[in-house]
Amino acid sequence: MLIELLTKKYPGMRLWLAQRLSAVVMAFYLLVFALMLIIKQPGDYAGWVELMSPWWWRVFTLLFFVSLVMHAWLGVRDVFKDYIFNLKLRAVMQILIDVLLVIYLYWAGVILWSI
């Protein structure tokens, strides 16, 4: 249902909705993460490894980072469109940010699966 609202049929709504959905995913993850910290209380490295080890938790954490990257990409894109009027400069800045965000996402995945 929501997927259709994210298609080109709704050019305005899809960007807005994608940003909101990514925010909901992040808020939900942070809530669960806070609960996990309270329940597990990882005090040392072994405790953190235990907390982050389950595959589903790593997938959920990666989903959080995917949402973060999507949220940031949409936000920065809007800021650039509003404030950088030189099209070439805007394109360069946007590509830099895109590359940086992809590196961050890859880095997060590497960290998560190296535990």
Partner 1 sequence: MKFSIYRYNPDVDKKPYMQDYELELQEGDQMLLDALIRIKQQDDTLSLRKSCREGVCGSDAMNINGKNGLACTTKLQDLEQPVVLRPMPGLPVIRDLVVDMTQFFEHYNSIKPYLINDDPLPETERLQSPEDRAKLDGLYECIMCGACTTACPSFWWNPDKFVGPSGLMAAYRFIVDSRDQAEAERLENLEDPYRLYRCHNIMNCVDVCPKKLNPNAAIAKIKDLKILRAKEKKTKKTISITSV
Are the C-beta atoms of 54 and 110 separated by less than 8 Å? no
Given the complex with partner 1, which of 5 and 112 has the nearer CB atom? 5
Q: Are 115 and 53 in contact (CB under 8 A)?
A: yes
Smaller CB distance to partner 1: residue 65 or 70? 70
**Binding region for partner 1 (CB under 8 A) out of 5-13, 37-45, 51-59, 95-103:** 5-13
How far, in whole angstroms, is CA 23 from its chain's centroid? 9
- The smaller minimum CB distance to partner 1, of residues 27 and 37, is found at 27
Measured from the CB atom, the residue of 12 and 43 that comes closer to partner 1 is 12
With b for 16 or more beta-carbon neighbours within 10 A and e for fewer, the 60-93 pattern comes to: ebeebbbbbbbbbbbebeeeeeeeeeeeeeeeeb
Per CB under 8 A, contacts with partner 1 among 17-56 are 17
Which chain residues interact with partner 1 by CB under 8 A?
1, 4-5, 10-13, 15-17, 78, 81-83
